[in-house]
Amino acid sequence: MTAPKSWVAGANDPATDFPLPNLPYGVFSVDGDEPRCGVAIGGCVLDLAALEAAGILAAGGEDPVFELPFLNEFMELGPAAWARVRSRLTALLSEGAKERRRVEPHVVAMERAQLHLPFVVAGYTDFYSGRHHAQNVGEILRGAPDLPPNWLHLPIGYNGRASTVVVSGTAVRRPLGQTLPPDAIAPVFGPTRRLDFELELGAVVGTGSDMGTPVTVAEAEAMIFGYVLLNDWSARDIQAWEYQPLGPFQAKAFATTVSPWIVPAAALAPFRTTGQPRGVAPLPYLVEPGPLHHDVVLEVTLRPAGAARATTVTRTNARELSFSAPQQLAHHAIGGCAMQTGDLLGSGTISGPEAGGRGSMLERSWGGRDPLTLETGETRAFLEDGDTVTLTGWARGDGFRIGFGACEGTILPAPDFSV
């Protein structure tokens, strides 16, 4: 697959995340004006609200949907509207477009744009669908890589906090909580000492389902509007003390960072592939109609405060997952849970089979036993204050790539709190 050409500056650069076949959706503002919806193309943002107001683009009939500071109203329109708008935008932005002169005034240089959280997060569920990650965690924490008995049969997940999902560039404050020090018999209170990142993909639900009504995997695939990079920050020592018997709570409730652009499912469709085999046939309701994973390269860099450059600490691929996002969504709804526009599904940490592909510091430092030495000389077992973690990802085509932009956060010191 080769990329069609666009007249927009930078869109034909093989290194851009945002060529014409991508057209990811986001929310932006310029010079403090009202946030509205846009599409990234090359080194620019196309103002969808302005196109709507000028009568160049109509997504929802007579009702505008792009003047809002979130994409939920557009997502609710469903797959037919998504396809219609994508086709129209492709025509408007293609090289030789007849309406170029009408569209050009509504193209904004990316460096002028402030990016915002692109959708209202209705609910957040984090899954645990990376086999290598699950086995590594078992080895680190329990001394055995054995998977839980249910892991091979269903996408394990837990409900997280939608209220602390933030857009890339938002600083993350080190959380406070209870931990149980080694050999102690009672917990202590204070900042986490084992702050970690988790490399994930997030699926954004575009259309919902009714309470009490299951959906098939094929129906679930059609419900997914697009994908974001996702960093599910984790406090490992807080988690170790609190998670039994009900699972993660405060250790993962303090922040989840997503990239600012939602890459449409249609843009990633040409890069579908199979995931990691489980060796167990799924129950019928989880059978996929075809390959539903994606061949997306994923990287994580870490830059300490004041360091001259960042160090790549992880490189892996989204095809290392063993359950796809449509399977996760179908499983989520099978018991009757109502899914909503704006629900966010985290894939679970994505790790590869080798050390350089491990998607968390817990794995990269093997529980703190083997600290990493960064290219700038610092060592890290877990994250320290001032560290900046950046996730990037892309699917590779013939002379182009479909990227997400950066998913980045910098660690701030814990709040000054005493009782």
3-state secondary structure of 146: coil
Separation CA 196–CA 171 (nearest Å) = 14
What six digits make up the tokens of 387? Answer: 């560290």
HSE, side-chain direction, 13 A CA sphere, residue 204: 33
Q: Which long-range contacts (CB under 8 A, 24 or more apart) does 53-57 make?
A: 54/102, 54/106, 56/92, 56/99, 56/102, 56/103, 56/106, 57/85, 57/88, 57/89, 57/92
Separation CA 296–CA 160 (nearest Å) = 25
What six digits make up the tokens of 391? Answer: 């996730």
Q: How many CB atoms lie within 10 A of CB 182?
A: 4
What six digits make up the tokens of 266? Answer: 């249609």
Pick from 4, 6, 108, 18: nearest CA to 401: 18
Is residue 148 within 8 A of residue 157, CB to CB? The reply is no
Query: Which residue shows structure tokens 């209202």?
Result: 120
Is residue 71 within 8 A of residue 118, CB to CB? The reply is yes
Separation CA 355–CA 277 (nearest Å) = 20
Q: How many CB atoms lie within 10 A of CB 287?
A: 13
132 is catalytic: no
Pick from 21, 3, 86, 17: nearest CA to 48: 86
Is residue 198 within 8 A of residue 313, CB to CB? The reply is no
Dihedral pair phi/psi, residue 375, rounded to 5°: -65, -25
**Which residue in the list 106, 133, 294, 332 is annotated as catalytic?**
133
Burial 42-73 (b: 16+ CB within 10 A, else e): bbbbbbbbbbbeeeebbbeeeebbbebbbbbb
Taking the CA atoms of 403, 198, 154 and 332 in sequence, report the sign of the dihedral they define.
Answer: negative
Positions annotated as catalytic residues are 133
